[in-house]
Chain A
Amino acid sequence: MACNLTRGRAINCKDQIGGLSAIYVTDFGGLGTITYTSDAISNMSGSFTIFKYDLNGQANTFTTTATSSRENGTTFFASTLSVTLPKLSKEENAELKLLAFGRPHIIAVDRNGNAFLLGTINGCSLESATLTSGAAQGDMSGYTMEFQSEEASAPDFITGATAANPLAGMSSATVTVTVGTNS
């Protein structure tokens, strides 16, 4: 049977920390053939550019919820990625529009160095975004974005991710990492 269980779980060491350190966004459909080894993405064959968004603070998260229906015999995994990007700019405004129009694949890198691919098959949809000026002097002036994806499985781990390149382990992919600039 395809749903027989395979392993148990012990109490793990308390060596993890929460939060995301960066997301990488790439246009839908460019990843090529994705290869899985031991339940993680081990290779891609596409030629594509990924755009890095550095994240800071405590408001950057992704959460995946599995929904199963006994009546319908279905299970799907809905992921919500929330990011907060301080500082408004005309360049970011223009990019925000492109993010909203498309359905990018997004790689979320957590503070433990794990890289996850969100929207592997269907892409991620920018469901809501706010541009806020804040009110008090200490309030945030910037963007908040919420992406959502629905897939047949939870976001996949990506093998061989490094701090500079989350797709460093993808030997058959031609990846260009474009980082942001300060202002």
Chain B
Amino acid sequence: MLLASPCKIFIQFIMKKKQINFKPFDSLKWHEVKEEDVEEVLSKDQFKDFKKNKIYSIGTGTFKMG
């Protein structure tokens, strides 16, 4: 029980860190999206840059991680 709690916090931390949001270029609102969807939209190189920089903009809007 004592170990479970820090584990849970760690998992939540990892999951939270991986959360990806998308903001359309003509809006101020961010929407949560799945990583698979981002992979579909971005090319391999773009996705690699996104993973590295945690942010990537394309014509339709901006992806942000974390």
User: In the complex the two chains form, is B62's CB within 8 Å of A174's CB?
Assistant: yes
Complex contacts, B64 vs chain A, CB 8 Å: 174
B26 contacts A178, C-beta separation under 8 Å: yes
**Nearest CB of B to A179, in Å:** 7
Asked if A168 and B27 make an inter-chain contact with CB atoms under 8 angstroms apart, the answer reads no
Given A164-B59, A165-B59, A171-B58, also A176-B46 (CB < 8 A): no
Interface of A (DSSP majority class): loop
Task: Looking at the assembled complex, report how far the CB atom of B19 sits from the nearest CB atom of chain A, in whole angstroms.
Answer: 16
Min CB distance, B3 to chain A, in Å? Answer: 40
Inter-subunit contact A175/B27 (CB<8 Å):
no
Given A176-B27, A179-B26: A171 and B59 within 8 A (CB)?
no
User: A172 on the interface (CB 8 Å rule)?
Assistant: yes
Q: Give the contacting residue for A168; candidates B28, B56, B59; CB below 8 A.
A: B59
**In the bound complex, do residue A174 and residue B55 qualify as a contact, i.e. CB atoms below 8 Å apart?**
yes
Q: Does B35 contact A (CB under 8 A)?
A: no
A173 touches B23 (CB 8 A): no
Residues on A close to B: CB < 8 A? 49, 160, 162, 164-165, 167-179
Q: Which 10 A-B pairs have the closest CB atoms?
A: A168-B59, A174-B62, A165-B25, A177-B26, A162-B59, A171-B57, A177-B25, A171-B56, A176-B28, A173-B57
